Structure formats: structure tokens, C-alpha cells
Homo-oligomer: A and B are copies of this chain.
Amino acid sequence: MKSSEKTFTAIVETAYRMFSEYGIAKTTYSMIAEEVGISKPSIYYYFKSKEELINYIFEEVCKAIEFSAFFTLKNFTKDNFKDELVAVGFRMIEEQAKDKHFNRVIQEYLLLASRNKKYIQRFEMVQQEFLVGFEDLLKRGSDLGVTSSVNVHAKAHMLAMILDNIGNFMLLDVKIDYKQVWIEAVATIIRDEV
């Protein structure tokens, strides 16, 4: 790794951490520079404005939360459907719990997106992919005969909401057994197919 790449990475990682700790608006080039150990104007060599840095990290975050980063439709079979669904949910919960900055940065960008056309479209893509992904998954489940075929749409959205909001609850460090909640949610999808 070239020295310039090292600096680039250091800037991005430090900015990400500070976006989480202090918020995007209150994170300044001075703070990042001091933490990285370079001068403030040096950052402008890599990102010609603060906005460009914000954009870059936004794209990184989006890639990390895509539905396809977690779910692979064809991994779900008649025999493993429920277990697989539970397992993937667990993996997402663990991923979120592992990186303590993750949820906060997502929320920061969610707010930014809600105010800014530039971000909102990209975020809607991710969100939509998730809803459609869950819907396809439940359709497959109903084809396989392991889930009900009624209200697939609303059920898919319900699952998406629960998984999504686990991050929100984690923000406040709410003492909940998140995995148990997910098990319960999956069970409501499977259950009425006795």
C-alpha cells in the first residue's frame, strides 16, 4: 500500500468514526486532521470538499447494507427455510452489534437523505431492494409450501421493519434479546402454515 493510500484510508476511517461519535455536521476537517496526524489542508488533496467526503462514506455505507450482501434466495430450501431465515437475521444483528458506529452513521445518513434529493434516491433503492427481497423470499417460501400465501406483501414489510429497527433500538442500548424478537417474527410467518 502506497503512503498516499494509507493516508486516504486513515482519513476515511477516522471520518467514519467521528461521524458516529459527533455527528456529520459537527465533525470538522480540523478534528479529522488532528486525529490522523496531518494538517487540515492535506485532506483537501483527497477530498476537495467536506461534501465530497460525506458522499464517499455514504456510498460505502450503502454497499454494506444492501439486501444482497446478506440474503441469497437460492440458499433457501423447503427443509432449511425457517432456520436459514433465522440464521441470516442473526448474522445481520451480529454485524450491527460488532461495529458500534454502524447504526449511528446509518441514522446520520438517513436524516441527511430525508432532506436531500441527492441521497434519498440511493437510499430508496436500498430500502426498496430490501422490501422486494423479502417479498420474493416469502413468495418462494409459499411456493415451497412452508409459509402462507396470504398478505405476503405486508408480511414482508413487517419483517423488513423489524430487522431494520433493531438497529434503532441498539442506538439506545435497549436491553432486548434481539435474536429472540427475530425468532418470534420468523415464527409468525411460518406458524399459520401448520
Which residue from B23, B110, B111 sits with its C-beta under 8 Å from A115?
Answer: B23
Give 5 new A-B contacts, CB below 8 A, not counting A25-B25, A114-B171, A162-B162. A111-B111, A114-B172, A128-B174, A161-B162, A161-B166
Once bound together, how far apart are the Cα atoms of A168 and B113, in whole Å?
12
Report the bound CA distance from A192 to B131 in whole Å: 25
In the complex, the chain B residue whose C-beta lies closest to that of A22 is B115
Residues from chain B with Cβ under 8 Å of A161 in the complex: 161-162, 165-166, 169, 181
Residue among B25, B107, B153 making CB contact with A110, cutoff 8 Å: B107
Check if A124 is an interface residue, CB within 8 A of chain B.
Answer: yes
Contact A172 B123 (CB under 8 A): yes
Interface of A is mostly: helix
Contact stretch, chosen from A41-49, A70-78, A183-191: A183-191
Partner of A158 from B153, B168, B185 at Cβ < 8 Å: B185
User: Number of residues in A with C-beta < 8 Å to the partner?
Assistant: 46
Cβ-based interface call for A4 (8 A): no
User: How does the 8 Å CB contact mask read for A150-169 relative to B, with 1 for contact and 0 for none?
Assistant: 01011101100110111011
What is the 8 Å Cβ interface bit string for chain A, positions 105-138, against chain B (1 contact, 0 not)? Answer: 0011011011100001001100110010000000
Most chain B C-beta atoms within 10 Å of own C-beta, residue among A104, A108, A166, A174: A174
**Interchain Cβ contacts under 8 Å between A and B, 9 examples:** A23-B111, A110-B172, A113-B172, A120-B172, A131-B174, A131-B176, A151-B184, A154-B177, A188-B191
A130 to B23, CA, bound (A): 27
Are A184 and B154 in contact (CB-based, < 8 A)? yes
User: Closest Cβ of chain B: how far from A167's Cβ, in Å?
Assistant: 9
- The reply to whether the CB of A21 lies closer than 8 angstroms to some CB of chain B is yes
Smallest CB–CB gap between A138 and chain B, Å?
12
Q: Which residues of B contact A115 (CB under 8 A)?
A: 21-23, 104
A180 within 8 A of B: yes
